[in-house]
Amino acid sequence: MAKKSTTRHLRDAAEPILSVRDLVVHYPARTGHVGSGAEVVHAVCGVTFELHQQETLAIVGESGCGKTTTARALLNLRQPTSGQVLYDGDDLATLSPKAMRRHRQRLQIVFQDPLASLDPRMTVREAVAEPLRIHRMTGAGYRERVDRLLSSVGIDPRDADRHPHQFSGGQRQRVAIARALALEPQVVVLDEPVSALDVSVQAGVLNLLDELQAETGVSYIFVSHDLSVVRHIADRVAVMYLGKIVEIASCDELFEHPSHPYTEALISAIPIPDPHRERARERILLAGDVPSPIDPPEGCRFRTRCPRFANQLTEAEQAVCATRPPELVELDASHASACHFPSAVRAGALL
């Protein structure tokens, strides 16, 4: 397949199709204690990025980093606390559900578990046809269109009068993708779309996503915890930690020249399925666990686990990390990092 430009810039000459500015999502903590209602989970804290035509932007991070909340807030599936999501002249964050409906057709989402997102009583054909019916696109050629959608994801239309439970996990996810693409959306949010699948099946779904993008020009926001998958599919990658983007760069740049110490640790932690390479690698082990998003650390949120903070910085430098939250600063046109003391280029030493 033709390769897209890998040197896509943070700010493209072309207008972005979706732009997220200073997105914040807070929600009340459910700790189960009486009188704890005042506690707030700081799930997403000032996230800014842009998405371009036919681009795959991956949002990666570990559990609790806010990647899924970000993705859902984009589509107004969770009400943002503040910030803007600019799409087609509107700020989605402030739209009423009714006004949002106009845009839903062009903004779709695929979830991790297709069995949970497909109605078990609907046949696969009905599931794929439903969005067309809702948006009253049942005119001439409607049935052929459903068949074409099913074929385009590798499901034989002759099997389409069966129910989701009669399909394998990979096939079900293909159905969910066909359903998301039925209305020819501009943006599809993919929330861990292959995490529940076995690798041999996952590979087929990843290739399918790639091909569909080349054919339709759709843009993806690909939320994942799996950096190997992201390396394979993304044009740009945003790394999140405790509700903030700590680094964002083109895919190759991020993996080959990571600048933020968290990104470095993340990359070095992922085992490579190649015994010789894997055993020759140097692993950066982080101390401890992710702090609670109810009470995130002051200053840089990563400093409590940061090996550079602990081992390399002077006391004066540490004081900077402890008091000033680092801003996302551009290192060059395709790379920004939120660290007061970013790495010098390490040229692939982690891989």
Partner 1 sequence: MKAPVRITPPVAESAGPPGEDHVLVVEDLTVRLPTETGLVDVVRGLNLTLRRGETLSVVGESGSGKSVTALAIMGLLPKHSVVTGSIKLAGRELVGASENALRAVRGNNLAMIFQDPMSSLNPVMRVGPQIAEAVRAHGSVTRAEAADRAVELLTLVGVPNAEERAQDYPHQYSGGMRQRVVIAIAMANRPDVIIADEPTTALDVTVQAQVLESLAKAQSESGAAMLLITHDLGVVASLADRVLVMYAGRAVELGTADEVFYDTRMPYTVGLLGSVPRLDARRGSTRLTPIPGAPPTVDRESSGCSFAPRCPMASPPCDTRPKLLPVGAAGHLAACHFTERLAGVAPADLFGRGAPSQRSAHREGPGLMLDSIQEETRG
CB 218 within 8 A of CB 188: yes
Cα gap 321→304, rounded to integer Å: 10
The 1-30 contact track toward partner 1, x by CB under 8 A, reads x-xx-x------------------------
Instruction: Work out which of 40, 269, 313, 331 binds partner 1, going by CB under 8 A.
Output: 269
Whose Cβ is closer to partner 1: residue 20's or residue 212's?
212
For position 347 contacting partner 1 by CB under 8 A, the verdict is no
Contact 129, 146 (CB under 8 A): yes
Is 122 strand, coil or helix?
Answer: coil
- Measured from the CB atom, the residue of 84 and 152 that comes closer to partner 1 is 152
Nearest CB to partner 1, comparing residues 87 and 241: 241
Cβ count near 88 (within 10 Å): 12
Q: Least distance to partner 1 from the beta carbon of 226, Å?
A: 8
Residues 224, 195 contacting (CB under 8 angstroms): yes
Q: Which residue do the tokens 């551009």 mark?
A: 330
By CB under 8 A, tell whether 351 contacts partner 1: yes
Asked if 267 touches partner 1 (CB under 8 A), the answer is yes
The reply to whether 207 sits near partner 1 by the rule CB under 8 A is yes
Q: Give the contacts of 92 (CB within 8 A, at least 6 positions apart).
A: 74, 75, 76, 85, 86, 100, 103
Question: Is 115 a binder of partner 1 (CB under 8 A)?
Answer: no
User: What is the C-alpha separation between 180 and 165, in angstroms, rounded?
Assistant: 19
Q: Shortest distance, CB of residue 307 to partner 1, whole angstroms?
A: 11
Q: Check residue 273 for interaction with partner 1 (CB under 8 A).
A: yes
Amino acid letter at 228?
A: S
Nearest to 250 by CA among 16, 61, 6, 45: 6
The closest of 300, 307, 304, 303 to 285, measured between CA atoms, is: 307
Q: How many residues make contact with partner 1 (CB under 8 A)?
A: 67
Which of 95, 126, 137, 204 binds partner 1 (CB under 8 A)? It is 204
Binding mask 214-243 for partner 1 (x = CB under 8 A): -----------xxxxx-xxxxx--------
The least CB distance from residue 145 to partner 1, in Å, is: 17
What is the per-residue binding string for partner 1 in 292-331, x denoting contact by CB under 8 A?
----------------------------------------
Cα–Cα distance measured from residue 343 to residue 340, given in angstroms and rounded to the nearest whole number: 10
Among 285, 316, 344, 347, binds partner 1 (CB under 8 A): 285
| 301 alpha-carbon distance from chain centroid | 20
Q: Which one-letter DSSP state was computed for residue 167?
A: S
Maximal C-alpha separation, the chain = 72
Residues contributing to the site for partner 1 (CB under 8 A): 1, 3-4, 6, 62-63, 151-156, 159, 162, 166-168, 170-171, 198-204, 206-208, 210-211, 225-229, 231-235, 251-252, 255, 265-279, 283, 285-290, 351
